[in-house]
Amino acid sequence: MPEALKYIEIVKSRGQRKLQLERVYRNMRQKEFFLAAYGKIAANKGATTPGIDPEDTVDGMNLDRIDRIIKQLEAGTYHWKPVRRTYMAKKNSSKKRPIGQPSFNDKLVQEVIRMILEAYYEPQFSDLSHGFRPGRGCHTALKEVSKWTGTKWFIEGDVASCFDKIDHKTLLNIIQRSIPDRRFLKLLKELLEAGYMEDWVYHKTYSGTPQGGVLSPLLSNIYLHELDVFVEEKLIPRLISVSELEVLPPLEIAKTRTTNRVIIIPITMKIAI
């Protein structure tokens, strides 16, 4: 996939320099992207899990089917299907987490979008963000924390129902700042508003990204990157400034985000004796 790889390198370069990315909708229709997407998701355990359409699965995938998807995208007639909602038990909790099962064609298109958006946004994400990122996770977060010395307190915050509560308009506005591509934004908007089927009853979606979707973790990271920037560029400098007043001991503050739902801010207090 030489042309697709060349485009990905261009996308990464623009992401590193924080330059706007245009013509995404046009470039994502390259067949090489769909072949790479198929190679990535076809081997996953969930590839054979059906969405609402039992015929729209990985079985029978071929080049003609990919060509049809590309032609639909080109004509603007590609329509996302509602996901099939199921529930998964939460660890150490009696509550259950809603999971959306997309149809395979939708998984394929989502994976193409993910490849492009990840190449663009990864260079811009905070080094202290570890959730749902390639080569990162709890272990890299713990490795970062091990570098901190003299830490006395940890403040842990939980962003409750993170995937469910993401505001569609805010998310699209964030992406539009960097990717002013109307057709691409329209495609994302239609994905977010595709809804879900539960017990064969259709429900609209007014907020959130469907858990279980290929693209959802990255979209949530794009959304929460705004929080990372706020904490690092505004909140921490403000706290450091306040700590310099005589009435408070000085503070040393660092921050890391281990998942899309948890923010950890360690605070070191130096108290003169």
Chain-wide mean pLDDT for the chain?
A: 85
What's the token pair of residue 271?
């108290």
Report pLDDT digits (tens) over 36-86. Answer: 999 999 888 777 788 888 888 888 789 999 999 999 999 999 999 999 998
Structure-token match 């739902």, residue found? 261
- Of 265 and 125, the structure prediction assigns the larger pLDDT to 125
- Of 267 and 18, the structure prediction assigns the larger pLDDT to 18
Structure-token match 């509560």, residue found? 165
**Residue 188, pLDDT score:** 97
Q: Which of 64, 66, 53 is nearest to 103 (CA)?
A: 53
**Residue 250, pLDDT score:** 45
Structure-token match 């994400």, residue found? 125
Q: Which of 8-17, 171-180, 211-220 has the lowest mean pLDDT?
A: 211-220
pLDDT beyond 50 at 271: no
The total number of residues shown for the chain amounts to 273
Give Cα separations from 141 to 117, 127, 132, 170, 211 (angstroms). 23, 10, 12, 28, 23
pLDDT beyond 60 at 24: yes
Dihedral sign of CA atoms 242, 243, 244, 245 in order: positive
Q: Percentage of the chain surpassing pLDDT 90?
A: 52
pLDDT beyond 90 at 95: no
Q: Which of 78, 84, 128, 122 is nearest to 103 (CA)?
A: 84
**Residue 268, pLDDT score:** 46
pLDDT beyond 80 at 145: yes
Q: Which residues pair with 83 in a beta bridge?
A: 196
pLDDT beyond 90 at 107: yes
> Can you tell me the mean pLDDT for 86-114?
88
**Residue 259, pLDDT score:** 55
pLDDT beyond 50 at 247: no
